[in-house]
Amino acid sequence: MSAEERKAYPFALVGFFVSDKPIEECFRQDVTPEELEKLQDLLKKTIFTEDVDIAIAPFVVPPDQVNDALNQLAEVVFNPEEKQE
């Protein structure tokens, strides 16, 4: 497959976390874009081959809303100019 024929496929890493705190208090609010980029690079190097690029966004998604969340991420990745207007 040539570079001009590249296609995007959604993927998910599924896990869970355990806490006695409300969900709103479980995630850091000060994560920087640089930290997310480091995480993205680590995932890319760890689980994908060299010729694959990835984009990530942190979400806590109820199981019945996974498709909507993936569609939102796709919109941000593939149509970023529309979100800036």
Closest CA to 39 of 29, 27, 47: 47
User: Residue 73's pLDDT band (boundaries 50, 70, 90)?
Assistant: confident
* Residues 49-68 pLDDT 10s: 999 999 888 777 777 887 88
Domain ranges within the chain, ordered by starting residue:
15-84
* Residues 19-38 pLDDT 10s: 999 988 998 999 999 999 99
Q: Residue 27: CB partners within 8 Å, gap ≥ 6?
A: 58, 60
Does the CA dihedral 11-79-81-66 come out positive or negative? negative
CA atoms within 13 A on the CB side of 70: 11
